[in-house]
Structure 1
Amino acid sequence: MGQSRLGAIALIVPDYDDAIRFFTAAGFRLSADIDQGTKRWVTVEPPGGGCRIVLARAATPEQQATIGAQGAGRVWLFLETDDFAATAARLITAGAVFEEAPRHEPYGTVAIWRDPFGNRWDLIQPA
Structure 2
Amino acid sequence: MNSVTMSFIVNLDVPDLAAAEAFYTEAFSLRVGRRLGPGAVELLGGPTPLYLLQSDAGSAATEHGDVRDYERHWTPVHLDWVVDDIEAAVVRVVAAGATLEQSVRERRWGRIAVLSDPFGHGFSLIQFSGEGYDALVE
- Residues 62-108 of structure 1: CA deviation (Å, up to 9, x unaligned): 24615467753x46211110111111111011011111111011221
The structure showing larger relative contact order (alpha-carbon pairs under 8 Å, at least 6 residues apart) is 1
Contact in 2 for aligned 1:84/1:124 (Cα 8 Å): yes
TM value normalised by structure 1? 0.80
Distance 2:92 2:49 in 1: 19
Deviation at 1:4, TM superposition (A): 2.4
Q: How many residues align?
A: 121
Identity of aligned residues (%): 26
Q: What residue in structure 1 maps to residue 132 of structure 2?
A: none
For the pair shown, the structure with the greater C-alpha radius of gyration is: 2
Aligned residues of 2:72 and 2:116 also touching (Cα < 8 A): no
CA offsets, 1:2-41, max 9 Å, x none?
63222x11100001101011111113322324252xx443
Distance 1:126 1:23, change over 3 A: same
Distance 1:108 1:80, change over 3 A: same
Aligned to 2:94: 92
Task: Say if 1:75 and 1:119, in contact at 8 Å, map to a contact too.
Answer: no
Decide whether aligned partners of structure 1 residues 15 and 33 sit closer, same or farther in structure 2, where only a CA change above 3 A counts: farther
Give the TM-score of the pair, scaled to structure 2: 0.74
Aligned to 2:136: none
Structure 1 stretches lacking a partner, 5+ long: none
Q: What is the SS of the residue equivalent to 1:109? A: strand
Q: Unaligned stretches of 5+ in structure 2?
A: 62-66, 130-138
Structural RMSD (CA)? 2.3
**1:52 lines up with 2:52 in the alignment:** no
